Structure 1
């Protein structure tokens, strides 16, 4: 675990690189920050603090990207996600508080790997569109975002069932991820899963904001130059490697 005085230049540079890539992918496809950043920061800072900083990053990226896609947001669905995300965040915060670091690594890595398989390797799913499924997606997303920093796969699976238009989905995910990030940060601080004294030094957070802004600009520039499939392949590869490393690290810690 990294404490305020233990953040090295190497950790900062690696975190900035992960956040830059994640923010760029988020601008391109609507998702990416959690999948890419959570496993990397978990390796650098420990799973609990790494996911906490990831949650903080999604608040910034979600808010900033939302400003440019505001007109395409489906606010009706967002308002269903909103209370259910909080419902999922609360038990996840207690889980993070109680689980040892080794098991948190295993949980985080497993969530990423299983989510990647479910999201990108499953065949065509039936068309289901009702408020119950929307509410369930919000609750599961809130739980996974708080426990592992990775809500996107649950939301992507929901979008496939609902046959949700990609443009509207990508836009709606921005306030959704922003809100889930706020809930995750708040609940973990309230239940003591993360203590203020464990947080990185304050100057790391302005760096995160600047990095997210740069990533969004890069993503906007690449939007007309890089295919969505190529961007997704980068995200899948980085997330898969990070998830596998997190699982191995957790198992080694247990042994």
Structure 2
């Protein structure tokens, strides 16, 4: 086992779990690029979904009362429906080229969303929710990076209160759980070559990150949340472009 890739995964899982607890996103934006750089893009999809489901399961009981069940259903159903096409897309196309394309789209999407909401406008409804859910599901299953689409949706809809953080936990439990369950039958290749003890040890930073995030979650104000979402979404898109480009050049 490559010790460097293992340490990078440990740190990424710790930071990602803390971000997921504090603002409801940040997991895939941090973990996917980091693991993709050291273990490959296919490995990143498995790691981000497996431990992402674990992190959200740990967080879920504390936020249960604030879950927006209606909005959860609007997002989850199309997300699950588009997972298989997303996996088949990644399997049929050059994964690194797909990452670059998704990264560019993510950055453009955030810029458009920020421009739209500059006048304090918001856009929400069944069409946006279905479109957002489908996009998140397809991108998460194909490149492990549905979070930029979440960022665009939150900016357009103005959904950035405590119910967003709460609702994202069961959403990612379902989306990541289904991805992990279906992936072996569609794209079984690409699992990191780590021994069993390493997979178990990686649970530690996930739990630690949730604990750290829980301590600071109540001190984050809405303005900080909004700008954190913007910055993370742009950085996530840039990370996809960089990892995809480096892999193609290598």
TM range (shorter): 0.7 to 0.9
2:246 is aligned with 1:249 = yes
Kindly indicate whether residue 212 of structure 2 is the aligned counterpart of residue 215 of structure 1.
Answer: no
Q: Note the 1:186-201 alignment, pairs <5 A.
A: 186-191=181-186, 193-195=187-189, 200-201=194-195
2:57 is aligned to 63
Q: Determine the structure 2 residue equivalent to 1:149.
A: 144
What is the CA deviation profile of residues 200-241 of structure 1, one whole-angstrom value per residue up to 9, with x for unaligned ones? 433333223221110011112233556672882874686366
Asked whether the 8 Å contact 1:113–1:243 carries over to 2, the reply is no
Find 1:23's aligned residue among 13, 17, 31.
17
Partner of 1:204: 198
Q: Are 2:42 and 1:48 equivalent residues in the alignment?
A: yes
Give 3-state SS (helix, strand or coil) of 1:178's partner: helix
Q: What's the C-alpha RMSD, in Å, of the aligned pairs?
A: 2.8
Aligned residue runs from structure 1 range 69-88, under 5 A: 69-88=63-82
1:89 positional shift: 0.6
Give the whole-Å Cα distance in 1 for the aligned partners of 2:207 and 2:127.
35
* Uncovered stretches (5+) of structure 2, i.e. residues with no partner: none
TM superposition score normalised by structure 2? 0.84
Could you tell me how far apart the structure 2 residues matched to 1:246 and 1:224 are? 34
Q: Secondary structure at the match of 2:196?
A: coil
Task: Name the CA distance, whole Å, in 2 between partners of 1:60 and 1:91.
Answer: 24
SS in 2 for 1:52: helix
Decide whether aligned partners of structure 1 residues 76 and 56 sit closer, same or farther in structure 2, where only a CA change above 3 A counts: same
Contact kept in structure 1, 2:41 and 2:95, CA below 8 Å: yes
